[in-house]
Structure formats: structure tokens, C-alpha cells
Chains A and B, each alone.
Chain A
């Protein structure tokens, strides 16, 4: 169903959040954003456990950093992809780690794509840009279990 996708950004470093946001803006992506400072907050939102809760009838896209307090990104990814109702939500890992083992693990767990925050600013921008196009073009499947 075509409703505006809400972009969830799970990132604990303020500088990185601003960078992501600026680049989203430059790429022309003005979708609503919800920010999370740690993995637990993301899970509480998805499982409707905390103050903020995901809404029914809404499509979400998650930009997930790995290094986060409380619950790290890999664990969040694992839990989300293990849940039959939530596993269809696209998750894009955005992180500094380029350790091939970490990359493999995230792909195994089912992330949609993996973006390393690289040294080069241009590449970073390009990656976000591609993300932006992806967001606009693709029909994001609705999260199951909602009417």
C-alpha cells in the first residue's frame, strides 16, 4: 500500500545523526523521521512496549547503526528478523565497522543492505543518495499483523 514511509534512524552519535539527516535532505527525502538513541528504544517501539509505539497501517524503514548502548544493532537486527510479524521491514545497516565477519553476519541475519561509514565523504553521500532513491521508488511492504 502506498503510504509515506516513516524512516527510523537508530544512531547514538549526534554528529552522525546530523550528517545522515543533512544528506537525506539533500537527496530530497523529506519523509517523517523517528530518532532512537539505543537499540532497546527501537525494540520497545516495534513491540509497542514503551512510550513511543509504532502505528498500525504504517510502513517503516530502519537505518540501523551497530554500535549502540543498551542493545546493539546486530541484536536488534536478529530479534526483528526472527519475529514473523516484523521480519519484512527493510533494515539498512549504517555503521563504521568494515570487519568482513560483521558484514557477513548482518547479511546472514537478513539486513537489506550494509553501508559502511567510510573515510570518503563523497561515497557516503552517494550511499545515502541511493538509499533515498530506493525509498522513493520501492513499495515498502506493510508490516504484518496490522489491519
Chain B
């Protein structure tokens, strides 16, 4: 029996049984009353007949005046008997088994005088007086009058009324088989029983039929809910308003590696969380109780100790009165995400640390190189001075000619040449060191990003490069430039480098013209520094930004760090720099910067 149906069906069964009981008791009571009434009726009948007989007998015996012979008596008796016989046939109200009979005592036996069931007068049976059967007649013959349920001459139970007849020593009994008395009541019992049964069954069936759609809907709903719960990989829990755990989904049990749900049901849910997570859990519950939704991200390992991170949302579940009755907690396992985040943070820190280390190394190295550099350069200068003094000494007239000649070769040609190369090497080293220092300083420098008026910045750059422009015979044209987010000094440095480059790589065939323009493109400001110089070969265009790279292999006038510095500056400000170039025609350098 499905649980959703057995309950009401049981109720119906109980009600039916109660009704049945009541009905049966009622029938029983009615039966008693009926027996009593019938008994009285039979008694009335028997008494009436007895009196009639007595009256008749008295009448018969009075007929012959004064004749009290035996023959009169016998005549009277016969007359009475025939009257009785007639009455017996005509008596109504005795039903099918009812009989009215008369008997008298003869010695120890009862002798029946009227034909009745089972008896013939030709061979009247004799009954033992005072035996177990024939109780009604016994009573009548012993002068008692009344009615009751007794065993008659057959030994069967009857409802009998008995009355002694005052003449001839007779006794009269009117009896009805008890079974006949009972019959209608038994039939009633049966009808009631069957009716109850039928009504119970019909009622039950009706209940099943009528509730079938509702039950099916209920089943479908709970099946639907169950499927949703089972399908969700999240841990779904239901809490009461005090935060006790009432329910946890299968997925939740698996994630928390709980073997027996009984161990966690009815425990306090906030106690799953430690430290500040515990406070957050209590706050989330309070928020949900107030009708909103509470959130918490925290750490709670499984029962077996597996570390897990969770993102929990707690919402109220309203009861029938619309107020929060219970709380629904949905917990998503974010352990993977947390791990990935932590790993990312760790790597970022590592990268930053390495970067700082590297920059410090470059800085320290280039800084320390400066000192001996100065010494070398200084003493090259000293050597030159000493050489000059030596030359002055050699111009004395009193020196031998070969000696003078040899000395002049050395001091005039060889030594100066050596010094020249040392000088050049030192200059180059200095350039590299300076470049490295500037590069490493970029990393250590603080960038102050502000919205810059690029017209001002570039204007200042062009002004400061006036001398260099004149030397290169170059013309610089600046159009109206959009503003961008950047560091003033660094931006100036970057554009200065770009313009200086344009001077350096000018074409010998024409007047160098450098155009600086700018436009907006999406969220960025894109500036162009365009020249008509010698351009850059296609395979080298990507490499110009590499540190120490010199296009066309020059060794003078710089270290090859200018563009590297430009790209570093621009990238640190969140921008991009790239080049387009045509060898023999010129180059265009693009700088894109955010506009904020």
C-alpha cells in the first residue's frame, strides 16, 4: 500500500468498523426488545386461550342442571378440545414455527393432548416430567405463568409463553422457535455487514480514484525535486532558523565524505566553520532570516580531512504564513578555483621578486662599473697630458736625430693611436653602462600616471631638441595631439628618444622632416612619429626594440637602448608601441596609450 494512500484508507476502515459496531449493537438492542415484546404477545395469547377454555369448560359443565356425572365432564373436555383444535388452526401471529399446545400431567410424564409438530395423538409421546426438555410445559403444569427462552419438548430453544389452565389440570404453551425470532435480526446483521463492506470498498476506491491526480502530482513534484537535488553537484542543505542541519543532499554528503548522515543531522551548521568563517556563517544566517540572502566564502575540510573551499549562499524558505520557516544553504566547491588563484598569486609574487632582483643586479653592476670607468678615462686623459709634456721635451734641439725621429714616431703616431682606441672602447663601455642604468632605473622609478596634455609634453621635447635638430638639419612638425594617461617625465623621455632616433637615421639625400600626429581610436590615443629617413629592413623591424640592437650595425652615437626604453615606458603605462617602415622611404613609429 503506497504510504500516501494507506493513511486515509486506514481512517476509512476504522470509521467503517465503528459504524458497523454501532449498527450491530443497535440491532442487538432491538432484538432484545423484540423478544420481550413477542414474549408478551405469546403470553397474552396463551392466557386468553386459557381463560376461554376455562370459561368454555365452566359453561359446558353447567348445561345439564345438576348433572355432574363423569360423562358431562368428558363431554365438556371433548368440547374444549375441539374448540382448541379449531383455535389452533386459526390462530394468527404464530409465524411459521409457532405452535400452541396443551398437555397434562399423568404421573411422571407429560401427556400432550393436541396435535402439534412432531407429535401424533394416536401415539402420544410421553415426556419425563421435570426433565431437561419440555421446560415450558413443565412450568405451566407446575402452575407458573410467564414467558421466556426455554428448551421445548424437542430440546430446541424456543421463545415460549406458558399458562396453567384451571380446568382439567392442563397446561398451555405458545412457543416460537428462537431461530425464527432471531432470523430477521440476523438478516439485518448480515445486510449491515455487507453494506459496510461494500461502502468501505466503494469509499476506498472512490478515494483512490479521486485522489489519484493529486497523488500523481505530488509524486511527480517530489520526483522532480529529488531529480533536481540529485543533479546538482553542489552541497544543498536545509537548516532550521537556529542553524541546525535538517537535511543534506547526496552530493553534499559525498563532497563532505560523510558516511552516516545521522552524525551530522541536528548538529549546529555554523560549527562546521572555524575562526572568522564562523562569524561570517552566523552573519549569513541572520541575513537570510531577515528575508534577504546571506553569502560566505570560507574553508571547511571534509570529514576525512580533505581540504575544501566553499562559496555558500543562504536563502530563506517561507512557510505558509509567508515568514521564513527554514533556511536553504547552497554550497559550491571552489577548492579548484581557490587553488588556482593561490597559485597565480604565488607565481605573480615570484615573478615580481625575480624582476626586482634582476633590476637590482643590473643597477648594482652598472653602478659599480662606473667607478673603474672613471678611473680608466681619467688616466687616459692623464696619459695624453703626459704625452704632451713628453712631446714638449722632445722638441729640445740638443737631442740626437735618430733618437728624435724614433721618439716622434712613438709619441706622434703609435701612442696616440693606442690612446685613441682605448678612448673609443671606454666611450662605448660608458654608453652601455649609462644605458643599462637608465633601463634599470625605469623599473625602480615610480610612475605617476595623470592625464597629460600631450601638446605640452611633445612641445617641450621638441624645444629641448632644438640644437640637435639644427645639427641634423631637420624640421619637426607637430599637429594637435589628444590627451592620454601617462607619466610626464617618462613620456617626455620616450618621445625624445623617438625624435632623436629619427635624427640619427636620416637619409643623406633629402632634408629630414619629422611629423608628429595623434588621433583617438577606441579607448586609446594613438600617436605617430613619422620620418623620411632611411627606413628599416623588414626582417629587422621587430628587432629594433631589443636591448642593444643597432640597425645597420652602427657602433656610434648611442647604445641601442633608446627604443627599448620607449617600449618599456609605454608598456608600463598600459600602452603599445610598434613600427611600420619602408627601406629607403622612411619609418612610422606608433605609440598607443590609454586615455583613462
- Number of A-B residue pairs having CB atoms within 8 Å of each other in the complex: 41
Residue on B nearest A14 in the bound complex, by CB: B375
Is B375 in contact with A15, judged by CB distance below 8 angstroms? yes
Complex Cα gap A122–B380 (Å) = 11
Residue on A nearest B377 in the bound complex, by CB: A121
Q: Indicate if A35 sits at the interface (CB-CB under 8 A).
A: no
Q: Indicate if A130 sits at the interface (CB-CB under 8 A).
A: no
Partner of A15 from B367, B378, B441 at Cβ < 8 Å = B378
Contacts of A119 in B (CB 8 A): 373, 377, 427, 430
- Supply 24 A–B pairs (Cβ within 8 Å), ascending by A: A15-B374, A15-B375, A16-B374, A19-B374, A19-B375, A19-B378, A19-B379, A19-B382, A22-B382, A67-B371, A96-B367, A96-B371, A96-B373, A97-B367, A97-B370, A99-B441, A117-B370, A117-B378, A119-B427, A119-B430, A121-B377, A121-B381, A122-B381, A124-B381
Contacts of B375 in A (CB 8 A): 13, 15-16, 19
Complex Cα gap A15–B367 (Å) = 17
Contacts of A121 in B (CB 8 A): 377-378, 380-381
Contacts of B378 in A (CB 8 A): 15-16, 19, 117, 121, 124
1/0 per residue B350-385: CB within 8 Å of A?
Answer: 000000000000000001001111110111111000
Complex Cα gap A131–B373 (Å) = 23
Interface residues of B (CB under 8 A from A): 367, 370-375, 377-382, 427, 430, 441
1/0 per residue A87-101: CB within 8 Å of B?
Answer: 000000000110100
9 nearest A-B pairs in the assembled complex, by CB-CB distance: A15-B375, A121-B381, A19-B378, A96-B370, A117-B374, A119-B430, A13-B371, A96-B374, A96-B371
- Majority secondary structure of chain B interface residues (helix, strand, loop or mixed): helix
Max chain A Cβ within 10 angstroms of own Cβ: one of B367, B370, B378: B378
Complex Cα gap A22–B379 (Å) = 10
Give A68-117 interface residues, CB cut-off 8 Å to B: 96-97, 99, 117
Complex Cα gap A119–B376 (Å) = 10
Contacts of A99 in B (CB 8 A): 441
Residue on B nearest A26 in the bound complex, by CB: B385
Give A1-34 interface residues, CB cut-off 8 Å to B: 13, 15-16, 19, 22
Complex Cα gap A128–B536 (Å) = 44
Q: Would you give the shortest CB distance from A49 to chain B, in whole angstroms?
A: 28
Complex Cα gap A59–B379 (Å) = 31
Complex Cα gap A83–B426 (Å) = 41
Complex Cα gap A99–B374 (Å) = 16
Contacts of B370 in A (CB 8 A): 96-97, 117
Contacts of A97 in B (CB 8 A): 367, 370
Residue on B nearest A12 in the bound complex, by CB: B371
Name 7 extra pairs, CB < 8 A, besides A16-B375, A97-B367, A119-B427: A13-B371, A16-B374, A96-B370, A99-B441, A119-B373, A121-B380, A121-B381
Contacts of B374 in A (CB 8 A): 15-16, 19, 96, 117
Q: Would you give the shortest CB distance from B372 to chain A, in whole angstroms?
A: 8
Complex Cα gap A97–B371 (Å) = 10
Contacts of B371 in A (CB 8 A): 13, 16, 67, 96
Complex Cα gap A16–B371 (Å) = 8
Complex Cα gap A7–B309 (Å) = 70
Complex Cα gap A22–B374 (Å) = 15
Residue on B nearest A119 in the bound complex, by CB: B430
Contacts of B373 in A (CB 8 A): 96, 119
Contacts of A19 in B (CB 8 A): 374-375, 378-379, 382
Max chain B Cβ within 10 angstroms of own Cβ: one of A15, A19, A97, A119: A119
1/0 per residue A121-137: CB within 8 Å of B?
Answer: 11011000000000000
Q: Would you give the shortest CB distance from B430 to chain A, in whole angstroms?
A: 5
Complex Cα gap A125–B380 (Å) = 13
1/0 per residue A30-66: CB within 8 Å of B?
Answer: 0000000000000000000000000000000000000
Complex Cα gap A6–B58 (Å) = 189
Contacts of B430 in A (CB 8 A): 119
Residue on A nearest B382 in the bound complex, by CB: A22
Complex Cα gap A119–B95 (Å) = 153
Q: Would you give the shortest CB distance from B44 to chain A, in whole angstroms?
A: 142
Complex Cα gap A49–B371 (Å) = 30
Complex Cα gap A38–B48 (Å) = 161
Complex Cα gap A15–B378 (Å) = 8
Complex Cα gap A22–B386 (Å) = 12
Residue on B nearest A22 in the bound complex, by CB: B382
Complex Cα gap A121–B382 (Å) = 9
Max chain B Cβ within 10 angstroms of own Cβ: one of A16, A96, A99, A124: A96
Q: Would you give the shortest CB distance from A123 to chain B, in whole angstroms?
A: 11
Complex Cα gap A124–B45 (Å) = 166
Q: Would you give the shortest CB distance from B582 to chain A, in whole angstroms?
A: 36
Q: Would you give the shortest CB distance from B387 to chain A, in whole angstroms?
A: 13
Complex Cα gap A13–B367 (Å) = 14
Complex Cα gap A15–B427 (Å) = 18
